[in-house]
Amino acid sequence: MPQQPNPSTATLKRPSGREAASASSPHDPPFEVLLPLFLLLVLLLWLWRRWSVGAAWRRYAKNLQGEIRMRNRFSPACIAATFRDRPFLLETATSHEDETPYYHTRGALPIGNPASFILGVRRKSLLEEMQTRKELSSFDLNDPDFERRFFVVCNQPDVLPLVLTKEARRELSRYHDVEIYVRLQEIEWRRAGEVSDLKAMERLNHLIADMAEAIDALPPSDAPLSLRLADEQMIAKGI
């Protein structure tokens, strides 16, 4: 008589991997369905982000009664307007001052700058803060926290507190990636990427407008043009 299989052994037989997966989660969608859904979600988030940037810039151009130009349907190129009685330019640009191209947003105002005042201010990264924590500041602003967090380059340290006031330093400290550059005929702020925060843009624009008024009120300089141009080279490649 042929031997009959042991019922207990047949009961304990382990199913194959596919059978086990099907048995444990019969209603789980397959990976082939989840992956396209995930990619679609990423695409929708990217489109929403691109649309929100363009929409924010259009609103700001309307608020300023200015003219906006778009690079494409989503990416803003520039806004030309008047801000506090000065011609104003808000634009996205790529800087090649460093080895790595730097895509950023900048707001700029023209200045008279009779003193030929030159200034560069940049927020340090956390790594830069650690690397420079023992270095002494070149300027005495009586503000250790600001001096620890920012690089500052200036050709006239004696009048620096008149331009980089306590209120200006407090405003700059709100941002982790801000830069300020004062050249012979222009003042600008920069932040990385495409800025879409209208309140931040408005605050930074008022900041450079306040600084522009302080710069234009400085006494005129009798320095020769060659020296003024040499001073401007201090920030030619950023800081």
What is the per-residue burial (b if ≥16 Cβ within 10 Å, else e) of 126-153? eeeeeeeeeeeeebebebeebbebbbbb
How would you write the pLDDT of the chain (239 residues) with one tens digit per residue? 555 555 554 454 555 555 544 544 556 667 676 777 667 667 666 656 666 778 889 999 999 999 999 877 667 889 999 999 999 999 998 887 666 788 899 999 999 999 999 999 999 999 998 998 888 777 888 899 999 999 999 999 999 999 999 999 999 999 999 999 999 999 999 999 989 899 999 999 999 999 999 999 999 999 898 999 999 998 887 77
- For residue 88 the two structure tokens come to 């104003």
pLDDT at 234: 86
pLDDT at 192: 93
197: left (phi over 0), alpha (psi -120 to 50) or beta: beta
Distances (CA, A) of 221 to 79, 100, 164, 165, 184: 33, 36, 19, 21, 12
| Whether 106 contacts 88, CB under 8 Å | no
Residue 33 CA to residue 37 CA, distance in Å, equals 7
Ordered DSSP codes for 193-212: S----HHHHHHHHHHHHHHH
N-terminal to C-terminal alpha carbon distance within the chain: 94
Helix (H) and strand (E) counts in the chain: 9, 8
Neighbours of 51 (CB within 10 A): 12
